[in-house]
Structure 1
């Protein structure tokens, strides 16, 4: 049986090496909230400190929970509640938290992540082992912002990334099709992420895409399951929903409407590792291909995503770039390097991240 003794959080800003542009956002600094908590084994009286990361964004452009909202939920609702409960597993913890707090998925995910980390240390299991992952190395992709240069794309190919995701708008896709851009790289797998930017545009641009485009991510608005379903029924092109998926009910809606043939799983957005595991299982059982999306996370979130990507049900290379890809400086001594499009999954107990001492000192209880 486990209990939580204390919890603190720390807001941080990570500077991007270069701005990251999508159809909806222009990001130069990534705001995150780090979580640190102590889990006590009430039988052995051993304790372990776990770390987590809240992955909401600064504004409301991507989701209706931002960093300020997440911190308020953690301070006012989650922290008082979790000090009153006991649990046997991280999944039981997540269920109690979800039953008490139906909203605040980013906040819950960050706290739950720290619980998985601490219990992994207490049981001497890596997160990969805890979630029954099988692969010790996983294929990864890279996400490039809107209007990325041909040089960036070619460098990603040289680096060996197994899938290159291009952020697009209708105008960008029109230009790429006119240039027959993808046909120049017939052996390279691409995906396109529209971030809902085709909501006011006709569907025609999305038809007749080259075969080396694995899928199109979120062409229409987040609530428009019906339009996604209607388009998916008319095309062989695989759709993957992202912004539409904020909880397990959204997964069930996607399945019922057959709104997409793939789904982007982001544990930080869907409510945590437990919710992600259940979403992956539901999708796999329904014949929908799950894969792990990225959230411009630090190495903490990157480690979790690697563990989830090690599951056998994951259908596409995930959005987990090399640690050197985005930030001037990350939060941890632990880093991840891709070689020929693969990254090794952490094998240390828990998440497997050692913070820089300066960050750890700022997270002192």
Structure 2
């Protein structure tokens, strides 16, 4: 397989409803899609970087520049995804950009061989449980209405975004309205500091699955873990399999959220999974409001054996009125893993054209 060029396509995907976290509110997704053209097949990738460097230091404009100026030229002579990964490794940082290139090349390679993404990664089940992330609401009644709707749609796990001033009371309200049987977790996106430990310990009363990335320091999570009964899950802090091993050994977490874009691709995501499994640490698949292209890869990843907790694997209509690929649906609390070659999905050409804001081909 030899790469002939990569198309970088920007599309604008309006969200059905605004999605608010501790670091901001999204109304639409400025998505960078990649189409890798090789001598054997074409493959698609999706960059999960946000428009602004809020979740991480990466942003869409920067990712597009890094991909076109550095990564595509670096992988132009590669004949396999493994070779491409080695070629990209010499560039520091930019894991989301690297993950997008890797995904597109891997999709092309697997389509050429007739193998599915799930089979390649090591998926062991045909479906994965559907969890949903609920953004910070304007008030408690609105939150309860939203959660009720998702439970009615069949989601088996609820994640609540929290921040200082919006934490104990919304969790109390959800527990009071829907009972202790609903698997419930919270995500702070590093909005707290170690001085908030006593306050965060109040969440121990609600039998949460976990509290995700409460602090902005991996080291401080070691201290916080000693003060909470609720398991700590790390997200932003886990940037590689090596860091995952260090965090687990230090006692900074009891659960890990794996996002392929955050760790530099699905090959490294699988390595993070393997490290966590070796240490007996459960993992789950996080989401970045992906289109059906990125969602297909996430669903395949979430079918690996170590993913024992429901992830942010939601239906396409959770975020978008129309999805460029799929759509993915929740059936009996689960989402089906695509079985076709590669990602198992291809974009709808007409919808893609209507959403496109720019196209650049890099050879």
Q: TM-score, normalised by structure 2?
A: 0.92
166-175 or 244-253: bigger deviation? 244-253
SS of 1:149's equivalent?
helix
In the TM superposition, residue 5 of structure 1 has moved relative to its aligned partner by: 1.4
Aligned equivalent of 1:142, options 102, 112, 132: 132
Match of 2:298 in 1: 305
Q: 1:176: how far off?
A: 3.0
Report SS of the residue matched to 2:269: helix
Contact (CA 8 Å) 1:14, 1:328: kept in 2 or not? no
Give the aligned CA root-mean-square deviation in angstroms. Answer: 1.8
Residues 272-320 of structure 1, C-alpha deviations (whole Å, 9 max, x = no match): 0101000111111122221100001100010000000110110210101
Contact 1:15-1:329 at 8 Å conserved across structures:
no
Write out aligned runs for 1:216-227 (5 A). 216-221=211-216, 224-227=217-220
Equivalent residue, structure 1, for 2:36: 37
Q: CA deviation at 1:364?
A: 9.1
How has the CA–CA distance of structure 1 residues 53 and 347 changed in structure 2, closer, same or farther, with 3 Å as cutoff? same
Matches within 5 A, 1:211-360: 212-221=207-216, 224-332=217-325, 334-358=326-350
Does residue 113 of structure 1 match 2:97? Answer: no
Instruction: Show the counterpart of 1:95.
Output: 86
Q: Is the 8 A contact 1:188 1:212 kept in 2?
A: no
Q: Which runs of 5+ in 2 are unaligned?
A: none
Counterpart position of 2:155: 161
CA distance in 2, matches of 1:358, 1:183: 46
Equivalent residue for 1:173? 167
Q: SS where residue 6 of structure 1 aligns?
A: strand
Which secondary structure does the structure 1 equivalent of 2:72 belong to? helix
Taking structure 1 as the reference length, what is the TM-score of the superposition? 0.91
**Structure-1 separation of matches of 2:85 and 2:244:** 18
Aligned position for 1:43 = none
When residues 296 and 192 of structure 1 are mapped into structure 2, their CA distance, relative to the original with a 3 A threshold, is same
Query: Partners in 1 of 2:30 and 2:106 — Cα distance?
Result: 23
Secondary structure of the corresponding residue to residue 151 of structure 2: helix
Count of residue pairs brought into register by the alignment: 351
